[in-house]
């Protein structure tokens, strides 16, 4: 914004709460969760859901575990009305689920809402009218505070009068002073208490007072102050369930909800992945999973978040952003090398700790939760691009391809493979990483190729092996021989005898390749170039561990040759 534009805005004035207690509180239990996906969420969609889609979405919400679901605004349209009728008439509402319906404080709308509820076992009638100074001035043409309160009271009275018309329905009342967050808090309380006066709740038969941040005008601490002030100043606090309904205009809907829970609220309204007007409603999945990550069981099941996201995207025709907490495509992926190294170490360490103590609390650097707990896999954690480090590449080769590279081999493999990612200017798939590793390190056969070999264990002294190898060097076939204390050693001697040895063999490892369908072995050999500190690794892969070892030596020899002749 230009400075000239900023002058038209004013600081936000919150409620005065010098003795606030919420900063010292901790969230220890879940709130009552209410989904408003099918009302607030749906009404904000460019293409609202049809009845079939709403039915599927309703089933999804039930599967996740919501016990209170706002199913619409039945008086607003035939689709909304008929959707509720289908839920009731087709017996689709489980006995432990309560449907909630929204209605404005207007007589004909309230009557139509009650008509839609016939036959429901359990329902919440949610009455609202807007109370803020801005709404009173603009939307209600300078209506007085008294007039606005009267609208709420009359709506509440009509609901009270109509309640007996639903004798088979366990009915609960809810009132929202819409635009609570920019209403004078004392006045919002006055209106809520006037409504409570009509409904006469008790401790056993509470009302829900929903205090919406219809628009998020301020910082989350101001919202928490408003909620704590409200809870502390209302009469008969124990006759009401205090409910939150945040939106996300400043990007802090989650924080506002969490702080307001510290401030004493009991219930939270929101939507999956934060669908809703403008920047959206509160994202329930984020708040619930945040609680899970602190060891709080929420009653909501997001253990297959990708499937939930797929249904959500299909029904709403919206996309969950790639960086969205817990559900985004990239949120369990590390691109940076140092993060990849730390995650790999964390995974290995955790496996060890769990073997010793199965109750070890979760702790892996850069991961707030175990991706598996939301149905996502470790396999997708590490993707390789030019920012990636040696640990990440070794991790992919190990996890995806069963190759346990020696630690001192990681740097050279890392450098060569992320050089490829850099050239391509994109991340590499695990299969491309394997291809690049094979191309640069495995069974290299130019300019030296081992065509065939024979070992004779009866030659020389006890334990010695004589090797006769057929090789091709620079296109020319040769037979070379040597004696040593094992296949690799005798082949090294044969190279030496042929004048082809300008190295020391400094390391050798081998293992069976894990996880693959075939039973190949991998061998790794490190050579040190004569007269130079250069250490070169080569790898051999073959069903025979002996051939794998010899191939590893030839591969390292070829790499060394490339360096010394370039
Ligand atoms: O955001 C809001 O204030 C609402 C009310 C109708 C509860 O959605
Ligand atoms: Zn809303």
Q: Which of 501, 520, 502 has its CA nearest to residue 512?
A: 520
Q: Which of 113-122, 423-432, 474-483 has the lowest mean pLDDT?
A: 423-432
Q: Is the same domain home to 300 and 365?
A: no
**Overall number of domains in the chain:** 3
Pick from 316, 346, 375: which residue ends a domain? Answer: 316
Local structure of residue 179 (DSSP, 8 states): T
Ranking 195-199, 368-372, 529-533 by mean pLDDT, the lowest is 529-533
Nearest residue (by CA) to ligand 1, atom 4, is 214
Q: Are residues 297 and 373 in the same domain?
A: no
Q: The domain spanning residue 74 has which CATH number?
A: 3.20.20.70
Q: Could you say which of 385, 420, 441 is where a domain stops?
A: 441
CATH code for the domain of 544: 3.30.160.270
Q: How far is the CA of 310 from the centre of ligand 2 (A)?
A: 24
Q: What is the pLDDT of residue 337?
A: 78
Ligand 1: which of 39, 212, 242, 277 to mutate, most ligand atoms within 8 Å of CB?
212
48 and 71 share a domain? yes
- Distance (Å, rounded) from C-alpha 310 to C-alpha 322? 13
Query: Which atom of ligand 1 is the closest one to the Cα of 281?
Result: 1
Last residue of a domain, one of 416, 441, 466: 441
Q: Which of 102, 106, 134, 281 to mutate to test the pocket of ligand 1 (most atoms within 8 A of CB)?
A: 102
Q: What is the C-alpha separation between 11 and 19, in angstroms, rounded?
A: 22
Contact indicator for 55, 86 with CB cutoff of 8 Å: yes
Computed over every residue of the chain, the mean pLDDT equals 95
- Say which residues have a Cβ less than 8 Å from residue 370's Cβ, sequence separation at least 6: 362, 364
pLDDT at 382 over 70: no
Same domain, residue pair 375 and 249: no
Position 517 scores a pLDDT of 54
Q: Say which ligand is closest to the CA of 270.
A: 2
**For residue 508, which of 457, 555, 446 has the smallest C-alpha distance?**
555
Rounded-to-10 torsion of CA 147, 151, 154, 158: 170
Residues 25-82: pLDDT tens digits? 999 999 999 999 999 999 999 999 999 999 999 999 999 999 999 999 999 999 999 9
User: For the chain, what is the largest distance between any 2 Cα atoms, rounded to a whole number of angstroms?
Assistant: 111
Is the pLDDT assigned to residue 150 strictly greater than 60?
yes
Does 378 have pLDDT greater than 70? no
Length of the chain: 566
Q: Which ligand is nearest to the CA of 274?
A: 2
What is the token pair recorded at 557? 């020899």
The token pair that represents 44 in the structure block = 């904000």
* Distance (Å) of CA 76 to CA 36, 37, 110, 238, 546: 16, 16, 11, 33, 78
Does residue 372 form part of some domain? yes
Cα–Cα dist 526/557, whole Å: 9
- The answer to whether residue 7 sits within a structural domain is no
Query: What mean pLDDT comes out for the span 220-240?
Result: 98
**73-111 per-position pLDDT tens digit:** 999 999 999 999 999 999 999 999 999 999 999 999 999
> Among the listed ranges 182-186, 425-429, 439-443, 483-487, which one has the minimum average pLDDT value?
425-429
Asked if residue 328 belongs to a domain, the reply is: no
- Asked if residue 279 is part of any domain, the answer here is yes
Ligand 1 cavity residues, CB under 6 Å:
40, 102, 128, 176, 178, 210, 212, 214, 245, 247
**Percent of the chain's residues with pLDDT above 90:** 86
Cα of 247 vs centre of ligand 2, distance in Å, is 7
The mean pLDDT of 193-213, rounded to a whole number, is 98
Instruction: Specify whether 169 is located in the same domain as 300.
Output: yes
Q: Does residue 346 share a domain with residue 308? A: no
Q: How many CB atoms lie within 10 A of CB 497?
A: 13
Tell which atom from ligand 1 comes closest to the C-alpha of 210: 7
Is residue 129 included in any domain, yes or no?
yes
Q: Are residues 107 and 68 in the same domain?
A: yes
Asked if the structure places residue 19 within a domain, the reply is no
Do 124 and 139 belong to one domain? yes
Distance 422 CA to ligand 1 centre (A): 49
The residue whose CA is least distant from atom 2 of ligand 1 is 214
- Compute CA distances 335 → 96, 312, 416, 429, 537, whole Å: 44, 27, 17, 12, 25
> Residue 249 Cα, ligand 1 centroid: separation in angstroms?
14
- pLDDT for res 387: 73
Q: What DSSP element (H or E) covers 173? A: strand 170-178
What spacing in Å lies between the alpha carbon of 214 and ligand 2's midpoint?
5
CB 271 within 8 A of CB 316: no
Both 415 and 519 in one domain: the answer is: no
Q: Which ligand is nearest to the CA of 180?
A: 1
Look at 279-288, 391-400, 535-544 and tell me which has the smallest mean pLDDT.
391-400
Asked if 396 contacts 524 with a C-beta cutoff of 8 angstroms, the reply is: no
388 pLDDT more than 80? no
Tokens of 352: 């060890």
Question: In this structure, is residue 133 part of a structural domain?
Answer: yes
Q: Is residue 77, in this structure, part of any structural domain at all?
A: yes
Q: Are residues 391 and 521 in the same domain?
A: no
pLDDT at 507: 95
Q: Are 71 and 129 contained in the same domain? A: yes
CATH number at residue 399: 1.10.287.1400
**Residue 302 predicted with pLDDT over 80:** yes
- Owning domain of residue 383: 337-441
Q: What is the position in ligand 1's atom list of the atom closest to the CA of 130?
A: 3
Query: Which of the 8 DSSP states describes residue 281?
Result: B
- Average pLDDT rounded to a whole number, residues 403-424: 90
Residues 434 and 467 grouped into a single domain: no
Nearest CA to ligand 1 atom 3: 214
Of the CA atoms within 13 Å of residue 196, those in its CB half-sphere come to: 25
Residues 6+ away with beta carbon under 8 Å from 350 = 360, 362, 363, 364
Give yes or no for residue 379 having a pLDDT over 60.
Answer: no
* Ligand 1 center to 213 CA (angstroms): 8
C-alpha distance from residue 195 to each of 135, 191, 202, 209, 303 (Å): 19, 6, 13, 10, 40
């Amino acid at each position: 914004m230009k400075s000239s534009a900023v002058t038209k805005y004013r600081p936000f004035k919150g409620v005065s709460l010098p003795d606030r207690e919420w900063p010292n509180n901790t969230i220890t239990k879940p709130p009552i969760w209410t989904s408003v996906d099918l009302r607030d969420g749906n009404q904000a969609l460019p293409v609202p859901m049809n009845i079939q889609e709403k039915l599927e979405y309703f089933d999804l919400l039930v599967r996740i575990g919501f016990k209170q679901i706002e199913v619409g605004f039945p008086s607003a349209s035939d689709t909304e009305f008929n959707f509720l009728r289908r839920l009731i008439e087709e017996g689709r509402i489980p006995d432990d689920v309560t449907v909630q319906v929204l209605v404005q404080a207007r007589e004909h709308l309230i009557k139509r809402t009650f008509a839609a509820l016939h036959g429901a076992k359990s329902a919440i009638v949610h009455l609202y009218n807007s109370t803020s100074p801005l709404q009173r001035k603009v939307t209600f043409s300078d209506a007085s505070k008294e007039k606005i309160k009267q609208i709420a009271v009359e709506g509440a009275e009509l609901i009270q009068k109509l309640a007996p018309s639903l004798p088979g329905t366990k009915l609960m009342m809810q009132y929202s002073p819409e635009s609570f967050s920019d209403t004078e808090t004392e006045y919002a309380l006055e209106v809520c208490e006037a409504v409570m006066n009509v409904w006469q709740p008790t401790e056993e038969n509470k009302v829900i007072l929903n205090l919406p941040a219809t628009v998020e005008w301020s910082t989350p601490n101001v919202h928490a102050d408003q909620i704590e002030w409200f809870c502390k100043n209302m009469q008969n606090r124990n006759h009401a369930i205090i409910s939150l309904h945040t939106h996300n205009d400043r990007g802090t809907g989650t924080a506002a909800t969490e702080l307001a829970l510290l401030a004493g609220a009991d219930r939270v309204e929101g939507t999956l992945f934060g669908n809703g007007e403008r920047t959206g409603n509160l994202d329930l999945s984020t708040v619930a999973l945040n609680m899970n990550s602190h060891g709080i069981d929420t009653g909501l099941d997001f253990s297959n978040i990708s499937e939930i996201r797929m249904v959500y995207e299909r029904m709403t025709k919206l996309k969950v952003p790639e960086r969205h907490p817990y559900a985004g495509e990239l949120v369990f992926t590390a691109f940076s090398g140092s993060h990849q190294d730390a995650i790999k170490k964390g995974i290995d360490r955790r496996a060890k700790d769990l073997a010793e103590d199965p109750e070890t609390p979760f702790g892996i650097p850069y991961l707030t939760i175990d991706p598996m707990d939301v149905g996502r896999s470790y396999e997708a954690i590490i993707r390789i691009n030019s920012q990636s480090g040696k640990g990440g590449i070794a991790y992919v080769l190990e996890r995806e391809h069963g190759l346990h590279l020696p630690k001192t081999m990681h740097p050279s493999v890392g450098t060569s493979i992320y050089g490829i990612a850099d050239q391509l200017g994109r991340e590499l798939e695990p299969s491309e990483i394997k291809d690049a590793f094979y191309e640069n390190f495995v069974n290299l056969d130019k300019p030296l190729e081992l065509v065939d070999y024979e070992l004779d264990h009866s030659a020389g002294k006890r334990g010695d092996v004589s090797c006769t190898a057929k090789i091709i060097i620079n296109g020319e076939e040769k037979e070379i021989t040597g004696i040593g204390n094992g296949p690799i050693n005798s082949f090294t001697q044969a190279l030496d005898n042929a004048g082809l040895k300008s190295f020391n063999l400094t390391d050798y490892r081998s293992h069976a390749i894990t996880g693959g369908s075939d039973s190949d072995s991998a061998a790794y050999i490190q050579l040190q170039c004569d007269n130079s500190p250069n250490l070169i690794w080569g790898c051999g892969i073959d069903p025979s561990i002996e051939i794998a070892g010899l191939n590893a030596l030839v591969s390292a020899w070829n790499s060394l040759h490339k360096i010394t002749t370039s």
